[in-house]
Structure 1
Amino acid sequence: MASLSRINTSPMARWWRNVDRVTLICVGILIGFGYILMLAASPAVAVRIGASRDMFIFKQVCFLLLAAGIVVGTSLLSVRAVKLLAAVGFVLGIMATALTLVHGIEIKGARRWIALPMMSVQPSEFLKPCFAVVTAWLLTERQTRRYFPGMLISLGLFGVVLLLLKSQPDIGMLSVITTVFITQLFVDGLSLFLVAGGVGCMIAAFIGAYAVFPHVRSRVERFLHPEVGDHYQIDTALRAFGNGGLLGRGPGEGRVKDLLPDAHADFVFAVAGEEFGMIVCLFIIGVFAVIVIRALLKLLRENDPFIVVATTGLVTGFGLQAFVNMGSTLHLIPTKGMTLPFISYGGSSAMSVALTIGMVLALTRTRVNTADSQFGQSTPAFLNRRSRP
């Protein structure tokens, strides 16, 4: 890396010296597993639906290459540019998500996708990172503008997101965004009493979703009462983990990909367990954990409240998405169609997660001075436990 030595002051050299290279390596590892598992799982799925064996592989290669470019490109941005990108992305995401209710593709009773050439886009995927950054900006703006109604505006934006996602419906995505928002409110200094109230509202909303939406009720009942209903996908996934054992059956030797319709997407972790074994699965979990923990540890030395709140929201959404996918595959939680970041098939998911990690890298880059920071050397928000109404 002689060309990127400390005497080199080019933008790329400064970026390489200041970016979190461990997180970059972890992202590269996940993308590598994405290629490997797509080679293992997707041909059988493609043949089963009458498509070319290489269709999913070709598409995912393009998606992951684009995702890698988004990670690097976004990580080059300044804090100000991240805010602007999130604001524009949030507005476009809201408009596109609203468009799905009118012209969206209906799959299994939900309108979440917009048809484009070569792929379908799920606009709500891009709401997750953009919402986290925009709400962090609004919440922390109150520290420089005393009477700025950042909390009220954030609640209003959350209400719009809630209404759109409930109308699709997409309860899983709404749950993730709600958890991100409540976590950000807590880190920003909201009292524990009000945070507990928010959690109570989430529980009430889950009960309401159980009562109103048949597909939610079906998934919960199948989780709570394994002896009732169709458990084919979960039973098959669990058998795959058992067949894989410690070291796996070997690349290409798995059978779960021939049996599950979503082996390349929602249940790709089961393919990893059967073909590569428990050790590789634990390694994948460890890579996700390293990304989340490193980002949070960096915030312990951060003085900009916006960076603290925004990064916390971003890594909460990222980690929660990974947990939901792996937890539902292992039958630890009710099943939910959520992709495993960088590994499951899906263009919208890959690019959305890439945007998330790119923003995290941009916000947590080492900065020699505070010129790029709006707040300078203020007290970290998560250490300032003042209660706010």
Structure 2
Amino acid sequence: MALTDRTDSSQKAQWWRSLDHVSLSCVGALIALGYILMLAASPAVAHRIGASRNMFILKQVVFLTLAGAVVVITSRLTPRMIGRIAVMGGIVALGATFLTLVHGMEIKGARRWIALPLMSVQPSEFLKPCFAVVTGLLLSLRHTLRLSNGWRFPGRIVACGVYIVIAALLQAQPDIGMLSVISMVFITQLFIDGLPIVVFGMLVSAALGAFGVAYLVFDHVHSRVQRFLHPDVGDHYQIDTSMRAFGNGGLLGRGPGEGRVKDLLPDAHADFVFSVAGEEYGFVMCLFIIAIFTVLVFSTLNRLLEEKKPYIILSASGLITGFGLQAFVNMGSSLHLIPTKGMTLPFISYGGSSALSVALTIGMVLALTRHRMEAGPFTPEPSPMETAPRLTTSSSKDRI
């Protein structure tokens, strides 16, 4: 997009000037890497399943194009619109997630997907951004909304109720990885909201205890942890092949299209696309990818340091926490730093649900962290839709 005149007061110009250009540039870089790495990773996988060589590439071009459009369109929305979309989208995603338990596709013992004509959709992917914003809204109303009897709105209690419903659905699928990410997002938001340290410590302890229960109850969790801790237990084919790919790439990689170990990875286009980057482009490319995710996360947190509205702080911090955790889990499992978990690398791994849900997440982050300037000669008065609750306000009139 061309640079706009500093005196241009159009909505398009104001949107561009108020946007976090660092984060937007990181998103563009990740989408470009998604195209490049899909060209390297997907042909062998398509050949293995008897599909057209370019099937995954062509689908991913469509997915990433739509993802880019979702980022731009969502980033132009106001905080109030983001809240409304999160509430409505959360209700739809919650209903669709429940539907997977009845009519969902069963893959590797889990029911997480709904089959559509051209693709399968994982509704729980869209629960992550919607949950983060809804929780941020509920927690912020605790500061700004007083009930008729003078009591504050019980935002934490309502948010905990929403979390329990989502956790029950994810446990029933089961999707322990998604449940872990959503739990960490919620705990982070509660900490930022001022939860007492003692209670925060109890929540962290409860989360660790819940993981221990999952280890004892769910066979797939037990198997993955055992394989992570004991190299002589179970099947290590995928992680061993992943580590061979990194070793084969070395510092600078084998070169575009020259990787050979990647052809042996069953999920090279999805869960282990980071390994493909390591083999073909080397350690330097892996550091570059990590740097992009790090810059995007810290750029968002830096913008939030200047923010005073609890709704924006809580929602954006929850969104970026989930985004960063997803990237960490994918790269960490590829490098055998944590037990393997089927979680995509944002904007890079193959997948329509993943690409669109991550695009919605970053679009919401960009919308919430935009600099809203005061009215002046070249900046018109903000719309009432631009308002959001402030921490210092206790009036029920100052709402989203």
The TM-score bracket by the shorter chain reads: over 0.9
In 1, the alpha carbon distance for the partners of 2:304 and 2:60 equals 33
Report whether the alignment pairs 1:262 with 2:267: yes
In 2, the alpha carbon distance for the partners of 1:39 and 1:149 equals 50
8 Å contact kept, 2:20–2:369: yes
Secondary structure of the corresponding residue to residue 254 of structure 2: coil
In 2, the alpha carbon distance for the partners of 1:259 and 1:2 equals 44
The Cα shift of 1:229 comes to 1.5
RMSD of aligned residue pairs (Cα, Å):
1.2
Amino acid corresponding to residue 319 of structure 1 in structure 2: G
Within a 5 Å distance, the mapping from 1:210-229 to structure 2 comes to 210-229=215-234
Aligned partner of 1:145 in structure 2 is: 145
In 2, the alpha carbon distance for the partners of 1:29 and 1:154 equals 35
8 Å contact kept, 1:305–1:378: no
Aligned partner of 2:339 in structure 1 is: 334
In 2, the alpha carbon distance for the partners of 1:29 and 1:307 equals 26
Report whether the alignment pairs 1:346 with 2:346: no
In 2, the alpha carbon distance for the partners of 1:2 and 1:62 equals 25
8 Å contact kept, 2:140–2:389: no
Report whether the alignment pairs 1:322 with 2:353: no
In 2, the alpha carbon distance for the partners of 1:22 and 1:131 equals 25
Superposed CA deviations along residues 100-137 of structure 1, whole A, max 9, x for unmatched, are 00010000010000001110000000000000000010
Aligned partner of 1:366 in structure 2 is: 371
Secondary structure of the corresponding residue to residue 265 of structure 2: coil
Report whether the alignment pairs 1:378 with 2:392: yes
Superposed CA deviations along residues 247-294 of structure 1, whole A, max 9, x for unmatched, are 000000111321011000000000000000000110000000000000
> Which one of the candidate residues 272, 283, 306 is aligned to 1:301?
306
Aligned partner of 2:246 in structure 1 is: 241
8 Å contact kept, 1:256–1:270: no
Superposed CA deviations along residues 200-250 of structure 1, whole A, max 9, x for unmatched, are 111111111111110000000000111221111111111111110110000
Instruction: Decide which moves more: 251-260 or 81-90.
Output: 251-260
C-alpha spacing 1:377/1:179, structure 2 compared with 1 (3 Å): closer
8 Å contact kept, 2:72–2:363: yes
In 2, the alpha carbon distance for the partners of 1:114 and 1:2 equals 41
The Cα shift of 1:4 comes to 2.1
8 Å contact kept, 2:310–2:390: no
The Cα shift of 1:2 comes to 6.4
Secondary structure of the corresponding residue to residue 4 of structure 1: coil
Amino acid corresponding to residue 324 of structure 2 in structure 1: G
8 Å contact kept, 1:256–1:263: no
In 1, the alpha carbon distance for the partners of 2:23 and 2:201 equals 33
Within a 5 Å distance, the mapping from 1:1-389 to structure 2 comes to 4-146=4-146, 147-369=152-374, 372-376=386-390, 378=392
Secondary structure of the corresponding residue to residue 143 of structure 1: helix
Amino acid corresponding to residue 175 of structure 1 in structure 2: S
8 Å contact kept, 2:332–2:338: yes
In 1, the alpha carbon distance for the partners of 2:133 and 2:9 equals 29
The Cα shift of 1:361 comes to 0.2
Secondary structure of the corresponding residue to residue 142 of structure 1: helix
Secondary structure of the corresponding residue to residue 340 of structure 1: coil
Secondary structure of the corresponding residue to residue 162 of structure 1: helix
Equivalent pairs: percent with the same residue? 66
Superposed CA deviations along residues 277-329 of structure 1, whole A, max 9, x for unmatched, are 00011000000000000000111110111111111100100000000000000
Instruction: Decide which moves more: 75-84 or 227-236.
Output: 227-236
In 1, the alpha carbon distance for the partners of 2:233 and 2:92 equals 42
Amino acid corresponding to residue 254 of structure 1 in structure 2: G
Displacement over 3 Å in runs of 4+: 376-379
In 2, the alpha carbon distance for the partners of 1:224 and 1:40 equals 31
TM-score (norm 2): 0.93
The Cα shift of 1:3 comes to 6.8
8 Å contact kept, 1:303–1:376: yes
Superposed CA deviations along residues 151-193 of structure 1, whole A, max 9, x for unmatched, are 1110110010011000000000000000000000000000111
Unaligned runs of 5+ in 2: 147-151, 375-381, 394-400
In 1, the alpha carbon distance for the partners of 2:311 and 2:48 equals 48
In 1, the alpha carbon distance for the partners of 2:166 and 2:47 equals 38
Number of positions where the alignment pairs a residue of Structure 1 with one of Structure 2? 379
Amino acid corresponding to residue 129 of structure 2 in structure 1: P
The Cα shift of 1:5 comes to 1.2
Aligned partner of 1:386 in structure 2 is: none
Secondary structure of the corresponding residue to residue 143 of structure 2: coil
Instruction: Decide which moves more: 366-375 or 225-234.
Output: 366-375
In 1, the alpha carbon distance for the partners of 2:288 and 2:3 equals 33
